Amino acid sequence: MLGRSASLPKGLGGVVRDAGSLHHYSVSEGKPRNEIDSAISWLSEVEDQAKNSSLNKALLAQLEGADDCHGLPEALIHPDPVMKNLIETPKNGNVLIDWTGAGRGPRVASLAVLIWSGALVKGSWSPQNVDAVVSGYRKHIQLETEELERLSGAMMIRQLVFAAWRYRFAIISGQAPSGTEWWWPSEALTQAISARARTAFGTKARQKPKT
């Protein structure tokens, strides 16, 4: 489904609005940059209340250095293609729901969310699930080399934003995050999953045309 939507002609159906951010996180929605900026503002809001300022600073540094996918190929995307937004229909198989915030944005940002969500299983992750997602997607879209190189960065966006949201909630609730909570981003896990995805895309990934 993501591959098919990403292969639609530009402007089809009048879809020209920026997309990539969740309306839960960014009131104005827009591209991934908006979501990242919202997360940065949350940390700034509770900075003075944080008992362990090193956690705040570390997460802030990650967000400030996050790859917002700027300059990468754009297409019609669903901003939150996770498992809970898939339902099975009698005739058409699985379909995506909750298209709030859909529009035109970096296609790799949307795909990264799906790969991450599909890969995670209880206590681990599934290489086979990653392969399955890539297999379906590449029937319609071959990512460019730069997209593959920045896949891990794209996969970190939603993790970092979610962590900032949970961190802020903990602080304003009078709790003191320790840095060991389940919601902290895992760069090692992200690298492993994105590496598997790049392998699944294989050597057929075409080079970005020179200008």
Is 135:200 a contact under the CB 8 Å cutoff?
yes
In a domain, 210, yes or no: no
DSSP-based three-state secondary structure for 105: strand
Share of the chain above pLDDT 70, in %: 93
Q: Evaluate whether residue 159 is within a structural domain.
A: yes
Q: Is the pLDDT of residue 209 over 60?
A: no
Which of 37-46, 70-79, 94-103, 107-116 comes out lowest in average pLDDT? 94-103
Domain that holds residue 142: 2-203
Nearest by Cα to 46 from 155, 157, 176, 179: 176
Domains identified in the chain, total number: 1
Average pLDDT over residues 35-45: 96
Task: Kindly state whether residue 44 falls inside one of the protein's structural domains.
Answer: yes
Buried b (16+ CB within 10 A) or exposed e, 103-116: bbbbbbbbbbbbbb
Flag whether 105 is in a domain: yes
Specify the pTM: 0.90
On whether residue 15 sits in a domain, the answer given is yes
Phi-psi label, residue 13: left if phi above 0, alpha if psi -120 to 50, beta otherwise: left
User: Is residue 128 in some structural domain?
Assistant: yes
Q: What is the pLDDT of residue 15?
A: 62
208 located within any domain: no
Burial class (CB in 10 A: 0-12, 13-18, 19+), 166: middle
Condensed to tens digits (0 to 9), the pLDDT of residues 4-31 reads: 999 988 766 556 789 999 998 998 899 9
Domain assignment present for 209: no
pLDDT at 187: 96
Task: For residue 50, give the CATH number of its domain.
Answer: 3.90.1200.10
